[in-house]
């Protein structure tokens, strides 16, 4: 492990010092290089060449094995959080009684808001520890463990009979789900080039929208079936059992399908494992390093971009926390019945899917992920203005406004993909991911508290808060874009220096983005 006193070299330092620093890392800390370095030790410095045909074949094989399972799991990740919203209008909030078909947990308005927030208390409490475990433990196996456990915990919600029990379940649900998003960021940076990461991140995140469609139809079917034919247990409990047990089964499948990295991948041959590593050499990040490095932690905490990411996640997820937990009740407030709200909420998921995938593809194709992500945020602001400004009698117009708000995650996903692409050094990457998701949790804790039952059915104060938050986020995104442009210019100047020499296997040294003059920030 590097000495605690070792400091990262900034890009505008004299290039001779930079070369000396990197050479010292090779001599003194070669055992701290990336896992991928070991795979290339027998190649004597030779670069493995990949033809375009081989690259396409490898990419297709990786996509075929990884993307379906990542997408399904991330969809369940969203569905499991929003199950509470569906259950809230299916009997969860009714008084508990011996009448099994009309029994709930007897939640007041403030209690329901805190139940929505409690998930994120568990998430925020475990976010940094779980990021350290994602670095120290086998990535695929640890991720699978968390998926299985959150499925089991969610199923246990069906046995809840009081508010305290519901709070405990929500806390542990957040604890186990804390590993999912940072783990998926690591998988994406591990297997895909920077030009591919924005699209892939958008695709697996877009399954939040598919989950909203599936969850709404599932809850609607259970609600209607229970009303017409009756059930042995309460309808809201059936929703938790179905989603929880489905998640557990998918988690077991994840354990066998998703490897820890290319070097222990069962569905790649030995030759393909090396080629898959070579394919991502251009990222300058490697595939993993289990040593915790204090200087990388310090660099993460002193990097203005890290704090811009954190602030964006905090402010952007105040709207997310409110809408995620209250969208069913919001639609009821538009003048629809609870059953109709389950059905009419599903098109919002379709909007999210389309906008995320289109923006993700366009961001990779044209090289401006941040700016294109801002477009989705503007669409969301327009949608919320419609909800606030239109009269209560205009049900369809306000519902259309809700659908437009579902374009909001585009900017969040753009920055999530930039953590994958623009943050190098394994300790630094996991630290920045933790900071980003701690901000995400804090915002989601605050969000439900902006929706007061006394403001129903319009919830105007909460809706105005959402508009202001999204406007502030546009300013933060503009700062991040300009910061990356400035850093790229500095690095270009260092590389142009006559004494600058690029070192062998520099990509596998576990250098941070600030240390590595070859590293170019994606916009």
CA distance 487 to 489: 5
Closest CA relative to residue 332, chosen from 340, 321, 324: 340
pLDDT(511) > 70: yes
Could you tell me which residue, 270 or 236, shows the higher pLDDT?
270
Q: What pLDDT score does 290 carry?
A: 75
Q: What is the value of pTM for the model shown?
A: 0.82
Q: What pLDDT score does 49 carry?
A: 73
Q: What pLDDT score does 372 carry?
A: 92
Question: 111 and 163 in contact (C-beta within 8 Å)?
Answer: yes
Greatest distance between any 2 Cα atoms in the chain: 82
CA distance 350 to 352: 5
Burial class (CB in 10 A: 0-12, 13-18, 19+), 496: exposed
Pairs from 52-56 (Cβ < 8 Å, separation ≥ 24): 54/275, 55/279
pLDDT(508) > 80: no
User: Which positions ≥6 away from 443 have C-beta within 8 Å?
Assistant: 313, 314, 315, 316, 317, 318, 320, 321
pLDDT(308) > 90: yes
Residue with tokens 């990740």: 77
Q: What pLDDT score does 106 carry?
A: 67
**Cis before 457? omega within 30:** yes
Could you tell me which residue, 39 or 85, shows the higher pLDDT?
85
pLDDT, tens digit, 9 for 90 and up, residues 213-262: 888 788 888 878 777 776 677 888 888 899 999 999 999 999 999 999 88
User: Which positions ≥6 away from 332 have C-beta within 8 Å?
Assistant: 89, 338, 341, 457
Distances (CA, A) of 325 to 74, 89, 150, 455: 18, 11, 19, 16
Place domain 15-508 in its CATH homologous superfamily: MFS general substrate transporter like domains (1.20.1250.20)
Angle at 26 between CA 22 and CA 28, to 5 degrees: 105
CA distance 255 to 466: 39
Question: 476 and 411 in contact (C-beta within 8 Å)?
Answer: no
Could you tell me which residue, 182 or 338, shows the higher pLDDT?
182
Q: What pLDDT score does 455 carry?
A: 75
Name the average pLDDT for the chain.
Answer: 83
Q: What pLDDT score does 100 carry?
A: 45
Q: What pLDDT score does 4 carry?
A: 39
pLDDT, tens digit, 9 for 90 and up, residues 322-337: 787 677 777 877 778 8
Q: What pLDDT score does 98 carry?
A: 43
Per-residue tokens: 252: 């077991």
pLDDT, tens digit, 9 for 90 and up, residues 335-355: 788 777 777 878 888 898 999
Exposure string (b/e) for 147-182, b if CB count within 10 Å is 16 or more? Answer: bbbbbbbbbbbbebeebeebbbbbbbbbbbbbbbbb
Q: What pLDDT score does 96 carry?
A: 47
Distances (CA, A) of 209 to 113, 408, 415: 23, 12, 18
For residue 77, give the 3-state DSSP assignment. Answer: helix
Could you tell me which residue, 454 or 186, shows the higher pLDDT?
186
Distances (CA, A) of 197 to 77, 276, 416, 418: 20, 15, 10, 8
Q: What pLDDT score does 135 carry?
A: 86
């Amino acid at each position: 492990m590097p000495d605690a006193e070792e400091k990262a070299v900034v890009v505008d330092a004299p290039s001779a010092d930079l070369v000396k620093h990197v050479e010292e890392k090779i001599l003194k800390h070669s055992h701290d290089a990336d896992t991928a370095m070991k795979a290339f030790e027998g190649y004597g410095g030779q670069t493995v060449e990949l033809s375009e045909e081989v690259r396409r074949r490898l990419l297709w094989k990786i996509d075929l094995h990884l993307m379906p399972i990542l997408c399904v799991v991330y969809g369940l990740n969203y569905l499991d959080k929003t199950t509470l919203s569906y259950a809230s209008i299916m009997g969860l909030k009714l008084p508990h009684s011996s009448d099994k078909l009309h029994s709930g947990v007897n939640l007041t308005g403030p209690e329901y808001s805190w139940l929505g927030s409690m998930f994120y208390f568990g998430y925020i409490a475990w976010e940094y520890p779980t990021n350290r475990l994602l670095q120290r433990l086998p990535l695929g196996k640890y991720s699978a463990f968390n998926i299985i456990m959150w499925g089991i915990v969610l199923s246990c919600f069906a046995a809840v009979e009081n508010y305290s029990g519901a709070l405990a379940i929500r806390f542990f649900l957040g604890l186990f789900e804390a590993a999912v998003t940072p783990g998926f960021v690591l998988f994406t940076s591990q297997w895909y080039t920077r030009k591919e990461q924005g699209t892939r991140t958008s695709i697996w995140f877009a399954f939040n929208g598919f989950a909203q469609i599936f969850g709404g139809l599932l809850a609607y079917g259970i609600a209607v079936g229970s009303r017409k034919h009756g059930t042995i247990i309460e309808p809201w409990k059936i929703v938790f059992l179905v989603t929880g047990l489905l998640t557990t089964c998918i988690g077991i499948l994840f354990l066998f399908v998703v490897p820890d990295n290319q070097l222990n991948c069962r569905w790649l041959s030995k030759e393909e494992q090396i080629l898959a590593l070579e394919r991502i050499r251009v990222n300058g990040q490697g595939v993993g390093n289990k040593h915790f490095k204090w200087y990388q932690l310090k660099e993460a905490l002193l990097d203005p971009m890290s704090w811009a990411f954190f602030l964006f996640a905090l402010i952007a997820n105040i709207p997310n926390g409110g809408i995620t937990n209250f969208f069913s009740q919001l639609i009821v407030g538009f003048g629809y019945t609870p059953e109709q709200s389950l059905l009419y909420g599903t098109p919002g998921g379709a909007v999210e899917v389309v906008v995320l995938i289109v923006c993700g593809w366009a961001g990779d194709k044209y090289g401006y992920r941040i700016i294109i992500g801002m477009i989705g945020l503007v669409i969301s602001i327009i949608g919320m203005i419609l909800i606030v400004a239109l009269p209560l009698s205009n049900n369809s117009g306000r519902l259309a406004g809700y659908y437009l708000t579902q374009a909001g995650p585009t900017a969040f996903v753009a920055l999530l993909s930039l953590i994958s692409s623009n943050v190098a050094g394994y300790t630094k990457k996991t630290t920045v991911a933790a900071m980003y998701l701690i901000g995400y949790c804090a915002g989601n804790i605050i969000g439900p508290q902006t929706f007061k039952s006394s403001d129903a059915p319009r919830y105007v104060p909460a809706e105005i808060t959402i508009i202001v938050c999204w406007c502030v986020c546009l300013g933060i995104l503009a700062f991040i874009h300009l910061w990356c442009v400035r850093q790229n210019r500095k690095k270009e100047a260092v590389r142009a220096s006559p004494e600058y020499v690029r070192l062998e296997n520099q990509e596998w040294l576990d250098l941070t983005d600030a240390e590595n003059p070859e590293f170019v920030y994606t916009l």
